Chains A and B, each alone.
Chain A
Amino acid sequence: MQKTSENFDVVIGGGGIVGLTLAVALKSALGRGASVLVCDPDIARPDGNVWRATAIAAGPRKMLQTLGVWDALADIQPITKMLCTDSRLADPIRPVFLRFEPPRPGEYFAHMVFNAQVRDALKIRAVALGVDVRELSIADFTADADKTDVTLTDAARLSARLLVAADGVNSKLRDKARIRINRRDYDQAGIVATIAHERPHDGTAEEHFLPDGPFAILPLTHNRSSIVWSDKRPNVANLLARDDADFMDELTRRFSLRFGDFNVLDRPTSFPLRMQYARDYVARRFALIGDSAHVIHPIAGQGLNLGLKDAAVLAEMIVDQMRLGLDPGTSAVLTAYQRARRFDALSMGAAADSMYRLFSNDILPVRLIRDLGLGLVDRAPPLKNLLIKEASALLGSVPALLRGDAL
């Protein structure tokens, strides 16, 4: 079917990892049968912090492989083991309460990759597949029964059958769609930093549940690790205000001794921790994906994976619909998308929230119970396997892309 260049099937606001994944998934499956536009004013700008890294769970990893993005990544570090400790900062020894081995040899819990590399690979793939990528924002939009009229910041006007907001935590598109949020700020903030160390990490990820917040050490390629250090907000502000030597002292108190000498590769940055949900994931000819729909505590490392799962589910629904010549933006599709994703995001957020409540305190009875609980989990393989599967975002009805199947 011929269409003018300014009528799009799907317009995506936001060219981060989640938005680009949706665009690539749609064009991979539908080719010239669908027109897809991605708008992002920062699309050409390199990521501010090239060291920023994320754990990609098994399902999303299979999707990125299927979409031809994974093999383009220069640095991929599998997480071969995970261990959790529950201790006070002053404790000389941190007893390990949970130790996860891979479910099967050759399988991994997750892979650590650099966000900037994933985004660059997605950008290249998107352009190669014919996604229209523009260095602009969406200024305004109005939905009617058949389409959404979109105005870009260069005053260009176009129409979309579906507008998808992938513009992050403080989504402007979500506000314009008048979708309200529920938000709770944690008393913690997170510090992320990248560390080079003397001795190898053997692919082990560590999470130390300290009373002021979890401290995670995630393995990167070449004797490097990414830390996600959650702490009480005043502590975090304090830490980042101090000079490098003081910061290193505090880091040394927390960082594992097994790594030998280490130094910080980038400037540590902090972000406030919150749990935030959009009250609706959809509106007329409009859908939220990724952080615009949900933000959860990073304690379980599932934020980006949830977003990638949104992209997988929405892509499959749009592709099914368009392969029948049907409209990708109807209320039937959007309601089904919301039904499929909202519960999963809420339960993952609730799980992360209960972990936060359970671990971010120093009340003795709670510590005893949680250690007993974790010890029990460690001795009950079915329960532990369930936790592993959940952590791999593989539970529930699995979208084709997360199984590694093409659409």
Chain B
Amino acid sequence: MTSPDRPASASLDAADISRFEALGEDWWNPKGPMQALHKFNPVRIAYIRDQICAQMGRDWRQPLPLEGIRILDIGCGGGVLSEPLARLGADVTGIDPAPGNVDIAARHAAKSALPVTYLATTAEDLAAAMQSYDVVLAMEVVEHVRNPAAFIKTACALVAPDGLFFAATLNRTLKSFALAIIGAEYVLRWVARGTHQWEKFLTPRELERMIARGGIDIFDEAGVSFNPLRDVWTLSKDTSVNYMLAGKKLARDV
């Protein structure tokens, strides 16, 4: 699966990487193939912002509420999550194994003179270089890696002491099969067919166990539900399809 210009990693799935890299400029088209991600973006940004503000004593109503916080966005793609967090003041590093994605992301940020660091690298390489961040994000990525346990362990290692870790993914339930695979890929055509493989999905318990083994104490779990009438995603208690986890690095494990 390695090519000369592509970082190698045990945890990555080559087919998934190519599929996302092929999106090119369409990453930023709110009505293009990533429409579903753009609609999902506000609810996950709000979750990350609010949890960080609550944990670090900030007020999300103030300008630049995340000023000075070092955030690592793993699997940043075209920068759809990295860029808004940078606009909120965070010092964001976005990494993606696909150089094409990183190019798109960097070009888009440069257009508005937004300082985001984008690197075509992997979590494994950053961990090997002993990097650490105040906040590490693994949003909608674990379902695309080959070895989630190894990936999560590496991602957790990148969290600084007392730092925060966020993960978002899809649950492995009959409902998620019906909605995320049949519904989103075949009926509604929200996302391209083959975007997700249901058998790769993790239940919240499975993911929590992996995260706990990385020395992270989970303090919040939230479901994300789609409201078809209002055409928006909102936080809910229902974790049976999409869910997000937030945890804090235990200082004693460092």
Neighbouring B residues of A1 by C-beta, 8 Å: 64, 86-87, 89, 114-115
Stretch among A272-280, A323-331, A354-362, A385-393 lining the B interface? A323-331
CB of B231 to closest CB in A, whole Å: 9
Q: Are B45 and A326 in touch, CB under 8 angstroms?
A: yes
Q: Are B63 and A33 in touch, CB under 8 angstroms?
A: yes
Q: Are B64 and A2 in touch, CB under 8 angstroms?
A: no
Neighbouring B residues of A7 by C-beta, 8 Å: 112-113
Q: Are A30 and B85 in touch, CB under 8 angstroms?
A: no
Q: Are B63 and A31 in touch, CB under 8 angstroms?
A: yes
CB closest residue in chain A, given B42: A324
Neighbouring A residues of B31 by C-beta, 8 Å: 331
Q: Are B63 and A30 in touch, CB under 8 angstroms?
A: yes
CB closest residue in chain B, given A1: B87
Per-residue B-contact encoding for A143-184, CB less than 8 Å = 1, 0 else:
001110000000000000000000000000000000000000
B252 within 8 A of A: no
Known: A145-B29, A331-B31. A326 touches B63 (CB 8 A): no
Neighbouring B residues of A323 by C-beta, 8 Å: 49, 60-61, 65, 88
CB of A316 to closest CB in B, whole Å: 13
Q: Are B86 and A325 in touch, CB under 8 angstroms?
A: yes
Per-residue A-contact encoding for B6-45, CB less than 8 Å = 1, 0 else:
0000000000000000000000111100000011011001
Q: Are B45 and A4 in touch, CB under 8 angstroms?
A: no
CB closest residue in chain B, given A332: B30
Q: Are B84 and A330 in touch, CB under 8 angstroms?
A: no
CB closest residue in chain A, given B39: A332
CB of B82 to closest CB in A, whole Å: 10
Neighbouring A residues of B150 by C-beta, 8 Å: none
- Of B30, B46, B88, the residue contacting A330 (CB under 8 A) is B30
Q: Are A325 and B113 in touch, CB under 8 angstroms?
A: no
| Bound complex: CA A2 to CA B114 (Å) | 8
- Which parts of A322-373 form the interface with B (CB within 8 Å)? 322-326, 330-332
| Most chain B CB within a 10 A radius of its CB, from A4, A325, A331 | A325
| Bound complex: CA A2 to CA B65 (Å) | 15
B134 within 8 A of A: no
| Bound complex: CA A145 to CA B46 (Å) | 24
A242 within 8 A of B: no
A3 within 8 A of B: yes
B83 within 8 A of A: yes
Neighbouring A residues of B114 by C-beta, 8 Å: 1
CB of A105 to closest CB in B, whole Å: 35
- Of A32, A147, A325, A331, the residue contacting B87 (CB under 8 A) is A325
Neighbouring A residues of B237 by C-beta, 8 Å: none
| Bound complex: CA A29 to CA B89 (Å) | 16
- Which parts of B81-114 form the interface with A (CB within 8 Å)? 83-89, 108, 111-114
Per-residue B-contact encoding for A4-33, CB less than 8 Å = 1, 0 else:
100100000000000000000000011111
Neighbouring A residues of B89 by C-beta, 8 Å: 1
Q: Are A331 and B30 in touch, CB under 8 angstroms?
A: yes
CB of B183 to closest CB in A, whole Å: 21
Neighbouring B residues of A145 by C-beta, 8 Å: 28-29
Q: Are A324 and B63 in touch, CB under 8 angstroms?
A: no
Neighbouring A residues of B108 by C-beta, 8 Å: 146
Q: Are A326 and B64 in touch, CB under 8 angstroms?
A: no
| Bound complex: CA A3 to CA B114 (Å) | 8
Known: A31-B63, A332-B38. A324 touches B49 (CB 8 A): yes
Q: Are B45 and A325 in touch, CB under 8 angstroms?
A: yes
Q: Are B63 and A32 in touch, CB under 8 angstroms?
A: yes
- Of A31, A33, A324, the residue contacting B84 (CB under 8 A) is A324
| Bound complex: CA A31 to CA B64 (Å) | 10
- Of B41, B45, B113, the residue contacting A2 (CB under 8 A) is B113
Q: Are A3 and B63 in touch, CB under 8 angstroms?
A: no
Neighbouring A residues of B88 by C-beta, 8 Å: 323-325
CB closest residue in chain B, given A323: B60
| Bound complex: CA A2 to CA B31 (Å) | 29
Per-residue A-contact encoding for B203-225, CB less than 8 Å = 1, 0 else:
00000000000000000000000
| Bound complex: CA A1 to CA B108 (Å) | 15
Neighbouring A residues of B112 by C-beta, 8 Å: 3, 7, 146-147
Neighbouring B residues of A30 by C-beta, 8 Å: 63
Neighbouring B residues of A34 by C-beta, 8 Å: 63
- Which parts of A17-61 form the interface with B (CB within 8 Å)? 29-34
CB closest residue in chain B, given A159: B112
Neighbouring A residues of B113 by C-beta, 8 Å: 2-4, 7
Neighbouring A residues of B63 by C-beta, 8 Å: 30-34
| Bound complex: CA A1 to CA B89 (Å) | 6
17 additional contacts, CB 8 Å, given A1-B114, A32-B64, A325-B84?
Answer: A1-B64, A1-B89, A1-B115, A2-B113, A31-B63, A33-B63, A33-B64, A34-B63, A323-B49, A323-B61, A324-B42, A324-B49, A325-B86, A325-B87, A326-B41, A330-B30, A331-B31
Cross-chain pairs A/B with CB under 8 angstroms, 16 sampled: A1-B86, A1-B87, A2-B113, A2-B115, A3-B113, A7-B113, A33-B64, A145-B28, A146-B28, A147-B112, A321-B42, A323-B60, A324-B42, A326-B41, A326-B45, A332-B30
